[in-house]
Chain A
Amino acid sequence: MKLPIYMDYSATTPVDPRVAEKMCQYLTPDGMFGNPASRSHKFGWDADDAVEQARSDVAALLNADPKEIVWTSGATESDNLAIKGAAHFYQKQGKHIITCKTEHKAVLDTCRQLEREGFEVTYLDPEPDGLIDLGKLEAAMRDDTILVSIMHVNNEIGVIQDIEAIGELTRARKILFHVDAAQSAGKVPLDMERMKVDLLSLSAHKIYGPKGIGALYVRRKPRVRLEAQMHGGGHERGMRSGTLATHQIVGMGEAFRLAKAEMAQDNERIMQLRDRLWNGIKGMDEVYLNGDLEHRVAGNLNISFAYVEGESLIMALKDFAVSSGSACTSASLEPSYVLRALGREDELAHSSIRFTIGRFTTEEEVDYVIGLISQQVNRLRELSPLWDMFKEGIDLHSVQWAAH
């Protein structure tokens, strides 16, 4: 077993060696390095063929038409293009947008920007299990609502929102529906024929493809219009200019093709490992699972170890890579905004660890982690005055703390 063990697959995944091998064919002088926009020679045609093949492979995973796929630099750009692009194009019809407090910062910060431009945004509170109450979503819809943006799988707690049901609500009111599917593509079935999703953000590096490439699904029937955010040579039907990164796109296409072929067996294996990990941990005193277990993506466990501070625990777990809060926000010392939105107390939010496992995780690694966790949590609890107080039966809420 190689140390440290990687259990942070929601932050990013390693590129599958089969994907890397394919990407290498599109870089060097003896490879197909041409610009896919070059229409006058074989170098360009070969690159264009590869790009279009990748477009088909990405579309196939979603059961969409390849013409509905627009290449971007990643899910953050896709979220920006979808939300700003739709808001700017449709602003004459209304200026109200609905999203949720537990969305990724790429959605929340984009909405904040639109607020500065005069749009109005409703941020829904999720239920304590992390899921959105459809009744509350429906109640938030107004005559001037033009867009609803809800993620499919949450990056921190892994819960799966019912986007099929949300799509029924939005379509009935002719409101556009954007879904950030960065954490769900290749892990949860997506079907654009059945689901009434209008815009869907995708990323390659969460499913064993390379970083720096993503896509936005833009529905054609009924047609969705966007105002471009990146101007230039009119690539991607004018929606996103810029020379296409052939090798990156080929990598994303191959990753999506493999995901479609292997999703069922991957999920079964990962789910087994996830359950093994949870079963090995849940018997400990005072551990809490954050987010619903049933409506949850296979590879995610987000656990609060009460009376142990998360950063110190991560320090103790230096033999494996996990995250506290999410990688995008853990530069700050604030507890996770996602866990707070679920109504988790600050101290439990401070004590949370996200384990995300994936294609290359082994049973041996999971067992090693279980052993190390119980040992280190016990050690840190022996160091914790809060654990002493809990053992003495003192209610920590009754204590007058001096906030600092």
Chain B
Amino acid sequence: MAYSEKVLDHYENPRNVGVMDKDAKNVGTGMVGAPACGDVMRLQIQVNEQGVIEDAKFKTYGCGSAIASSSLLTEWVKGKTLEEAQQIKNTQIAAELALPPVKIHCSVLAEDAIKAAVQDYTAKNAKG
């Protein structure tokens, strides 16, 4: 299977790899997927008081397309409001990375990851 240039670039030079303090109040963590299915994504966002995502980090266990999808996602969410970040669609990720049909599920997982991270942040801060 041939990978697109963009997938290869993100795979070889992944952006924003790392870990944030998951207990910090201004951090939202989304962990999606399952080891048995062959991919697990962890996306973390750091949100400022204006509700804007200041920083994002990820780690992914999965194929090259899964790694590339999450790496791209961290680039896209930075500077977006929580509202805007939730508007990101898997189809946009799949189109940007030119994912083949068998790899579409990687972009779906990335969309799930940002939704889960936002949800985690919102839940944490609603409790007050």
Contact = CB atoms under 8 A, between A and B. Distances in A.
A12 B17 CA distance: 38
Contacts of B35: 346-347, 350, 386, 396, 401
Contacts of A312: 11, 62-64, 66-67
A309 B41 CA distance: 12
A335 B67 contact: no
Contacts of A404: 32-34, 37, 105, 108-109, 112
A402 B108 CA distance: 13
Interface of B: 3, 11, 14, 17, 19, 31-42, 59-64, 66-67, 102, 105, 108-109, 112
Interface string A112-140: 00000000000000000000000000000
B94 to A, nearest CB: 16
B61 A307 contact: yes
A333 interface: yes
Main secondary structure on chain B at its contact with chain A? mixed
Top-10 shortest CB links A-B: A401-B34, A346-B36, A347-B35, A385-B42, A311-B63, A385-B59, A384-B61, A350-B38, A315-B64, A386-B61
A383 B17 CA distance: 7
Interface string A327-344: 000000101000000000
B3 A315 contact: yes
Contacts of B63: 309, 311-312, 315
Contacts of A350: 35-36, 38
Contact of A401 (B36, B60, B64): B36
Interface residues of A, number: 24
A314 to B, nearest CB: 9
Contact of A383 (B32, B36, B59, B109): B59
A19 interface: no
A388 B19 CA distance: 9
A384 B38 contact: no
Contacts of A308: 61
Contact of A335 (B38, B39, B112): B38
A207 B16 CA distance: 47
Contacts of A346: 35-38
A403 interface: yes
Contacts of A307: 61
24 contacts: A308-B61, A309-B38, A309-B66, A311-B63, A315-B11, A315-B63, A335-B38, A345-B36, A346-B38, A347-B36, A350-B36, A383-B14, A383-B59, A383-B67, A384-B59, A384-B61, A386-B61, A388-B19, A401-B33, A401-B36, A401-B40, A403-B37, A404-B34, A404-B105
A363 interface: no
Contact of A403 (B34, B102, B108): B34
Contacts of B112: 404
A347 to B, nearest CB: 4
Contacts of B41: 385
Contacts of B42: 385
B59 A309 contact: no
A167 B64 CA distance: 46
Contacts of A383: 14, 17, 59-61, 67
Contacts of A262: none
Interface in A174-214: none
Contacts of B3: 315
B23 to A, nearest CB: 13
Contacts of A333: 38, 102
B40 A386 contact: yes
A382 interface: yes
A385 B41 CA distance: 7
Contacts of B67: 312, 383
Contact of A385 (B37, B60, B105, B109): B60
A34 B114 CA distance: 68
B9 to A, nearest CB: 13
Contacts of A402: 32-34
B117 to A, nearest CB: 13
B35 to A, nearest CB: 4
Given A388-B19, A403-B34, 15 more contacts: A307-B61, A315-B11, A335-B38, A346-B35, A346-B37, A347-B36, A350-B35, A383-B14, A383-B67, A384-B61, A385-B59, A385-B60, A401-B33, A404-B32, A404-B105
A385 B105 CA distance: 19
Contacts of B40: 384-386, 401
B38 to A, nearest CB: 4
A386 B32 CA distance: 12
